Structure 1
Amino acid sequence: MSRFRRLTGAAAAVAVAAATALTLMPTAADAAVTLPPTHAKFDYQIGGAYTPPAGVQVVTRDRTASPAAGLYNICYVNAFQVQPGEQSQWDSDLLLRDSAGRLVIDEDWGEPLLDIRGAKAARVAAKVNGWIDGCATKGYKAIEPDNYDSYERSKNLITTAQARTYLKLLADHAHVKNLAIAQKNTVDLAQYRTSVGLDFAVAEECGQYSECGSYVDYFGNNVIVIEYTNTGRTRACSGFGSTLSIVQRDVDVSTPGTSGYVRKTC
């Protein structure tokens, strides 16, 4: 399902101009990975795989699905939270708990947060890196690790530094497998793109909230935009329709033929 969130964008507005020249430098692993083509026709299929519309060049699918033949495929993994129905697959102590021992839950999606603090980060990463191995085996070219911003829902238990440290474990492993890795949302941390090792960005609702330019400042045109409203799509297309990959999907990211299915482009 979709993971769209309104981002604060406050930090991203600070010192962007000064950082732009530096952050547009390629990551160390760029030579070993293949980035998605820029300004490409894109489809977001994390709610269920289906035959891509004509002309589509890039597709994102859930890690449990097979890649689309002949296209650039991005493998979606929920890297910071537990997918519904998968809680029993995790060691109990790797689920984030508050001071009273209660699970910390992303209430929007009913997903427990993973505890990526200290030594637990390596244990969580080991499991997620196993998923990344599966994506590589299936033939995916890139990884989209979702919920980088889980610290915002952690009741102040997880810091941004801990989120970056953990994501770097995933990025390093993805690069070993010759997979590119995206920054998903979390524009406030885009300034750390190079140190974490992130190759491109997947931005939900950056048109809706006037944040697409901030992603471009750090990732150049290596930005994939997903909007969920006509307004967001119109804004994204108006400002970046000639340079970025942009698609509008329905919030449930449903499949064609089902109620509510939406897919629009610039």
Structure 2
Amino acid sequence: MPRILGAALAVACALALVGCGGAGSDLSGTDASPGTPAVQPLPANIVVDYQLGGGYPPPAGIGGVVRDSTDEPADGLYSICYLNAFQTQPADRSLWLERHPELLLMDETGEPLIDENWPDELLFDISSAPHRKELSSLLAPSIAECSDKGFAAIELDNLDSWTRSHGALTDADALAFASLLTETAHAAGLAVGQKNAPDLGTRGRDDAGFDFAIAEQCHRYDECQAYTAVYGLGVLDIEYAGDLGGTVAEVCSDDRIPFSTIVRDLALATPGSPGYTFDNCR
């Protein structure tokens, strides 16, 4: 799962317990008040570009974008804010170790447990209710920042971190933490996307409150129907070009892929950069 070094500024503000977006420090995962902004659902039948490598004018026919939380939404398009919510960003590793080591998952030797696929990312310890509550409070300013910038929705990455926790975390821990984050996001007027973890079935929607789903390579791993069975048209899929996936023709000829399926380069580069790839199956 490609992730960019972005969101460092927003998380740094959260770690300092100062909301970068003003109202963010007042969010604590409680039910929405009467003055809560309305959540705008993901529109049906739009194609969404995945722009975590940096925002750029979307190709023709695109109705939405996903951009890092340090970026800006796209004018006139449904914009989704990316936040690494279940693990630390690489640039924030030292900050978390210095200020909140008790909220990081440790191995049997007392060392922080890292994501084996992304060795600069540390897993949050969401195994207890107090930890989940404190972590959600620390992330609330970053969520509020997405809303304040004008994003319509948020992607909470690494929901499936429990699968890389060597048994220290469970799917129930992930869902419990996700429910706190979705409540906070909904209170800020943001729809919330479930990132990966199709094995959760309906629990992501019904227990955690996710509104739509973002899949990576559901064609390659034959998982698309697991998402669409739960979220219908509310599924975005990113397939990666080259050795990590099939050809564009193979991907786009699969009648099980979601309406919004794109093929991108793994680095999620911007147009004009080496390796930039974008294909729209629609």
TM class, shorter-length: 0.7 to 0.9
**Cα distance in 2, alignment partners of residues 235 and 127 from structure 1:** 43
> Is 1:207–1:236's contact at 8 Å kept on the other side of the alignment?
yes
**Cα distance in 2, alignment partners of residues 241 and 56 from structure 1:** 20
SS of the counterpart of 2:91?
coil
Residues 126-145 of structure 1 mapped to structure 2, 5 A cutoff = 126-145=137-156
**Cα distance in 2, alignment partners of residues 77 and 259 from structure 1:** 25
1:124 maps to: 135
SS of the counterpart of 1:145?
strand
> Is 2:212–2:234's contact at 8 Å kept on the other side of the alignment?
yes
1:156 maps to: 167
Q: CA deviation at 1:243?
A: 5.6
SS of the counterpart of 2:238?
strand
Q: CA deviation at 1:239?
A: 3.6
> Is 1:207–1:232's contact at 8 Å kept on the other side of the alignment?
no
1:216 maps to: 228
2:45 maps to: 39
CA RMSD of aligned residues (A): 2.1
1:154 partner amino acid: S
Candidates 207, 221, 238, aligned match of 2:253: 238
Query: Does residue 103 of structure 1 match 2:112?
Result: yes
Q: CA deviation at 1:36?
A: 1.8
Normalising by structure 1, report the TM-score: 0.85
**Cα distance in 2, alignment partners of residues 186 and 135 from structure 1:** 23
Deviates more, 1:106-115 or 1:239-248: 239-248
SS of the counterpart of 2:253?
helix
Query: Does residue 251 of structure 1 match 2:257?
Result: no
**Cα displacement string for residues 145-179 of structure 1 (whole angstroms, at most 9, x for unaligned residues):** 00000001111101111000000000111111111
The answer to which structure, 1 or 2, has the higher relative contact order (CA under 8 A, 6+ apart) is 1
Q: CA deviation at 1:38?
A: 2.2
2:95 maps to: 89
1:186 partner amino acid: A
Candidates 39, 44, 51, aligned match of 2:57: 51
Residues 61-100 of structure 1 mapped to structure 2, 5 A cutoff = 61-90=67-96, 91-100=100-109
SS of the counterpart of 1:227?
strand
2:127 partner amino acid: R
1:172 maps to: 183
Return structure 1 stretches of 4+ with deviation > 3 angstroms.
232-236, 239-243
1:70 partner amino acid: G
**Cα distance in 2, alignment partners of residues 208 and 56 from structure 1:** 23
> Is 1:185–1:201's contact at 8 Å kept on the other side of the alignment?
yes
SS of the counterpart of 1:73?
strand
Q: CA deviation at 1:233?
A: 4.9
**Residues 46 and 257 of structure 1, relative CA distance in 2, 3 Å threshold:** same
> Is 1:226–1:248's contact at 8 Å kept on the other side of the alignment?
yes
5+ residue gaps, structure 2: 4-30
Candidates 118, 123, 126, aligned match of 1:113: 123
1:2 maps to: 2
Q: CA deviation at 1:238?
A: 2.8
SS of the counterpart of 1:231?
coil
Q: CA deviation at 1:241?
A: 7.6
1:9 maps to: none
**Cα distance in 2, alignment partners of residues 242 and 40 from structure 1:** 14
**Cα displacement string for residues 81-128 of structure 1 (whole angstroms, at most 9, x for unaligned residues):** 111111233211111101210111112222111111211111111122
Q: CA deviation at 1:40?
A: 1.2
**Cα distance in 2, alignment partners of residues 34 and 52 from structure 1:** 21
Give the count of matched residue pairs: 241
**Residues 212 and 237 of structure 1, relative CA distance in 2, 3 Å threshold:** same
